[in-house]
Structure 1
Amino acid sequence: MALFIPTYFSPISQYSEIVKSDTVVFEMEDNFQKQSYRNRCYIYNSNGKQLLSIPVKHPLKSARKKTKDTLIENDFPWQDQHFKSLQIAYRTSPFFDLLEDDIAPIFEKKYKYLQDINIDSYLFITDALQLNSDFSKTDNYKLETQKNDYRFLADRKHQPKKTTEKYIQMFDDKHGFIENLSILDLLFMEGPNALSFL
């Protein structure tokens, strides 16, 4: 069993551990943390590293809220912006055309809760990589740490220094190799071969 926090098109570091795990368990009882991968991912565009962030509603009081209860702010077209950013960044990548129709529904469906889009992004990636997509969810917060506790990978500040072997990226001739981007970067560049890098 390996314990993860569902994140938005997770960084490569998270999928490096998911592919090695027999059983994926998603922590559903953690507190939402700002500026984490719970509602953001990074892609590679012509200017370098680009942030795609899902806007969330914050409670009026400073009370903590659980990630599973975090609501998405849908007052402006963030999904259109994210999809256009992916199209602009990756339209000439080797595998974007093959995956575009499959990923498009994630940017068309109206989500209320952050956890729902994160689970859908997980299902899209596991399908594209032809991984077992079965998972379970916690019903109480797991206090004890264990050998396969990867919840820290949802935190931008606690990432491994090296996550994969270098692969060709869209704009690496201009900006060099950028480590640990969203799994989408690796998938659009390597397609099914992405598994060999993970």
Structure 2
Amino acid sequence: MSKGILLPALFLPNISYFHVIKNHEEPILIEQFENFPKQTFRTRAKIATANGTLDLIVPTVHGKRMHVPMKDIRINYDHPWQRLHWLSLQTAYRSSPYFEYYEDDFAPFFEKKFEFLLDFNVQQLEMMLKMLKLKRDISFTDSYQYAEGEMDYRNVFRPKSNPLQNPAKPYYQLFEENNGFRSNLSAVDLLFNHGPQAKNFL
């Protein structure tokens, strides 16, 4: 297996995810053979709205098999979740300083239909790495490795317990005055509020 920092493929990855990447110069190694864990950031992203934190969730196709590798998870389009997600992002961030700056880059992810969740998430990661000016090569695992170590972050990013919950410096958020500072949101929150300076807050 290639060497690098071992990460899961997350949906619109959160700030702690990019904090880890910024603090490691090694290439990124995406886990694609793990048994897909439900109710994680692989299908969930948190954004800040006028009414508080909102979860955006990508629905997946549920087959009969109990254990399905991440690389084989398909996205479910039975409901218009893409349109609803994009409306939520527009409503939440239209007034932020840099939403229009990045709008055309994010829009295709809520227009084009991706078959596999892994492809959907990794293409977002590649785009956001460029926006955050983090140059990293990305490769994929060729099997599941059980060994854990300081470079293994596959099980760190959990919605209910995250040891990297507040890794970034506090930064200006659009609704902070009403709702207080919300930590560890999707990095889109940082990008839409601070644009090219976002990397400085990681």
| TM > 0.5 fold call | yes
| 1:50 maps to 2:67 | no
Name the SS of the counterpart of 2:23 in structure 1. coil
Kindly tell me the number of residue pairs found equivalent between the two proteins.
Answer: 197
In the alignment, is residue 114 of structure 1 matched against residue 120 of structure 2? no
- Corresponding residue for residue 185 of structure 2: 181
Amino acid paired to 1:30 = E
Structure 1 CA distance for aligned equivalents of residues 169 and 135 of structure 2: 23
Q: Distance in 2 between matches of 1:90 and 1:2?
A: 31
Percentage identity across paired residues of the two chains: 38
Contact 1:46 1:171 (8 Å CA) reproduced: yes
Distance in 2, Cα, partners of 1:49 & 1:178: 8
Match of 2:28 among 15, 24, 28: 24
Q: Distance in 2 between matches of 1:147 and 1:59?
A: 34
Structure 1 residue 47, shift from structure 2 partner: 0.6
2:83 corresponds to: 80
How far is the alpha carbon of 1:131 from its aligned partner? 2.0
Is the 1:31–1:64 Cα contact (8 Å) retained in structure 2? yes
TM-score (norm 2): 0.93
Distance 2:80 2:61 in 1: 15
Query: For residues 142 and 190 of structure 1, what CA distance do their matches in structure 2 show?
Result: 37
State the alpha-carbon separation in 2 of the partners of residues 77 and 161 from structure 1. Answer: 31
**CA apart distance, 1:133:** 4.3
Q: Is the 8 A contact 1:13 1:153 kept in 2?
A: no
Query: What amino acid sits opposite 1:16 in the alignment?
Result: H
- Match for residue 67 of structure 2? 64
Matches of 1:2 and 1:50, distance apart in 2: 29
For residue 81 of structure 1, report the CA deviation from its aligned partner.
0.9
Residue 138 in structure 1 maps to residue 167 in structure 2: no
Q: CA deviation at 1:192?
A: 1.5
- TM superposition shift of 1:26: 0.4
In structure 2, what is the Cα distance between the partners aligned to 1:14 and 1:181? 10
Alignment-derived partner of residue 38 in structure 2: 34
**What's the counterpart of residue 127 of structure 1?**
130
Name stretches of at least 5 consecutive residues in structure 2 with no aligned partner: none
User: What is the TM-score when the length of structure 1 is the normalising length?
Assistant: 0.95
The worse-fitting range, judged by mean Cα deviation, of 106-115 and 156-165 is 156-165
Question: What are the Cα deviations for residues 88-134 of structure 1, in whole angstroms up to 9, with x where unaligned?
Answer: 10001011010001111111111111111101110120121122142
Deviating more after overlay: 35-44 vs 157-166: 157-166
More moved, 125-134 vs 180-189:
125-134
* Deviation of 1:154 (Å): 3.4
> Which structure 1 segments of 5+ residues have no match?
none
